[in-house]
Chains A and B, each alone.
Chain A
Amino acid sequence: MSGVAAGLTARLSVPGRLDVELVAGPGDVVAVVGPNGAGKSTLVHALAGLQPAEGTVRLAGDELTGMPPQERHVGVVFQDRRLFPHLSALENVAFGPRARGVAARTARGVARDRLARLGVGALADRRPGELSGGQAQRVAIARALATDPALLLLDEPFTGLDVGVAAALRVELAGHLAQYTGVTVLVTHDAIDALTLATTVAVLDGGRLVQTGTPHDVAARPRSAHVARLVGLNVIRDGDRFRAFSPSAVTVSVHAPDDSTRHRWPGTVRGAAPHGDAVRLQVHGEQDLIADVTPAATRELGLVPGRPVWLSVKETAITTY
């Protein structure tokens, strides 16, 4: 497809829910991350034409603005997959080509090929109800790609899958996306998706993009509490700058530390959970912070929820940007 080279330029606004500008080149994978209610699904539905939105969308040189979903060349993998339960996997995948006027026999050939490439060729005759979560998700991806869309929208593709299944599918999907020449927009709440699959990470909060950058850049210098939590960093806003530090750099004490060279915050332990070899404390205070402490320290200091503590960190452990 020649027009694919133009990529995606979208300026979309849904009053009260979404107001974003998104630019992506061909082959780009844009991971959209953000807290619940940030407008991630609204963005996907607006790009697909399922959600009325103001603004403009240009995809592969075509003006999609105001176009019904049928005419946009956009493939969607819905969060709930939405495979047609009365059709076999093969007929589900062949549905798109057939709807676009391809002869039934040819469409089934395309579908067979797509299913095979996603490793579920042997399941072509099964109904969605007879597929496991991972298999169904592969069929859903095959269905979305079967129409050769210039834009592929993946809405939380690993939600509801077992951890192992999700991990395997993530590796596979990375391979498929690397070969895909269109633009991919991947909505996720998992930092690992954003870091392993994406070429660009776009952080959505309150319907607006608060940060866009390479996965490495966004992970190292998060500009929102949500991303900081996703990547496991403490981020403090200091005027118009951000200061980030790792939870392992944080010292926890019961009394206010005397050392004046350190930054100090009082707070209350809100939760504690195993994190690798350490225990990750969630501390609620003026700043909500996380701190990694040893299990021994947790016992000695009696760090149970409700316990007032002081957190401190050395200036040298802080990155400012």
Chain B
Amino acid sequence: MTPAAPGAAGPAGPGHKTPEPGPTAPAAPSGTRFRRVRPRRDPLGRAPLVLVLPAVVAVLLLAVPLGTMVVATDPASLAAALRSEAVRHALWLSVVTSTAAIVICLVLGLPLAWVLARVDFPGRRLVRSLVIVPMVLPPVVAGIALRTAFGRSGLLGRPLLDLTGFAFPYTTWGVVLAHVFVALPFVVISMEGGLRAAGPLYDAAAATLGASRWLTFRRVTVPLALPGIAAALVLGWARSLGEFGATITFNGNYPGVTQTMPTLIYVERQADGDAVLALSLVMLLVSVGVLVALRDRWLVTA
């Protein structure tokens, strides 16, 4: 130990560690067996009731309807529903259109997310706002908006019809279009976050090693952002699976062509109470499946 003048402590050097007793869990003398006590008591004090009570009400509000739906569903009718032709068609159409929509969201959304995350251009904030608008727009309005653009007499829809004889409304492609319109904002914004977290600093390192931006995108940016990209796609797929308003407004409700699970539930809701419950339960199971797929991303927060 270096002799130091009393009082002449100066700036305290590092390494002056005094053993401190742990704030929780009193240390057990070695050799004796102690039940491991989990430090449950918050040293800052108990959570106030004024916060805990509303929190409990919120959980109940969210959980009780789902629970009652499960309880109210007759298992027999669930089996019957799954055997029904209409349900199988609607479920299949939902899965196919949502999957097609999410592929399109990946092809278009990932580049847009990259541009928003990496390219500094005038009007970037404006573009991002434009991307977000459909996210907050009521889906029915989205359907109306799609009709003005892609309807048979829409700005883009009419020339498309004249040129090719094809029109989006009331077709399966129309369903996909509605799904993309509704899901793309979620996908882009979520992916942009993932790409930002994947560090422009690595891009700089790759550039000094001679990598072009395209190579860097493929070999560095996307692999690093992969968890975020995957989560964005699952989120977008779930969003598009539940899409109802824009789909029914733009495409109607034709079994086998434009009738997805949510639109089927909508038309069945009065006719057959049991069937509707069964259908809804199917959707709940799919949603829970999505949640399980995402559990590492969103259920575990720091």
Contact = CB atoms under 8 A, between A and B. Distances in A.
Given A70-B212, A95-B209, A272-B10, A84 B201 contact: no
Contact of A274 (B2, B202, B207): B2
Tell me if B's interface is mostly helix, strand, loop or mixed. loop
A158 interface: no
B288 to A, nearest CB: 30
A115 to B, nearest CB: 15
B211 interface: yes
Interface stretch (A21-29, A75-83, A119-127, A177-185): A75-83
A144 B205 CA distance: 10
A295 interface: yes
Tell me if A's interface is mostly helix, strand, loop or mixed. mixed
B13 interface: yes
Interface string B198-235: 00011011111111100100011001100000000000
A304 B4 CA distance: 11
Contacts of A298: 4-5, 8
A147 B209 contact: yes
A305 interface: yes
B47 to A, nearest CB: 36
Interface string A60-80: 000000001111101110101
A168 interface: no
Contacts of B220: 84
Interface range on chain A (Cβ under 8 Å from partner)? 35 or more
A173 to B, nearest CB: 19
A74 B208 CA distance: 7
Contacts, number: 92
B75 to A, nearest CB: 46
Contacts of B206: 84, 95, 99
B5 to A, nearest CB: 3
B3 interface: yes
B43 interface: no
8 contacts: A75-B208, A82-B205, A84-B220, A272-B4, A273-B13, A279-B5, A295-B2, A304-B7
Interface of A: 48-50, 68-72, 74-76, 78, 80, 82, 84-86, 95-96, 99-100, 143-144, 147, 271-274, 279, 282, 295, 298-299, 302-305
Given A100-B210, A279-B4, 19 more contacts: A50-B207, A69-B204, A70-B211, A74-B208, A76-B205, A85-B224, A96-B210, A143-B209, A271-B10, A271-B11, A272-B8, A272-B9, A273-B13, A274-B13, A279-B8, A295-B4, A298-B8, A302-B5, A304-B9
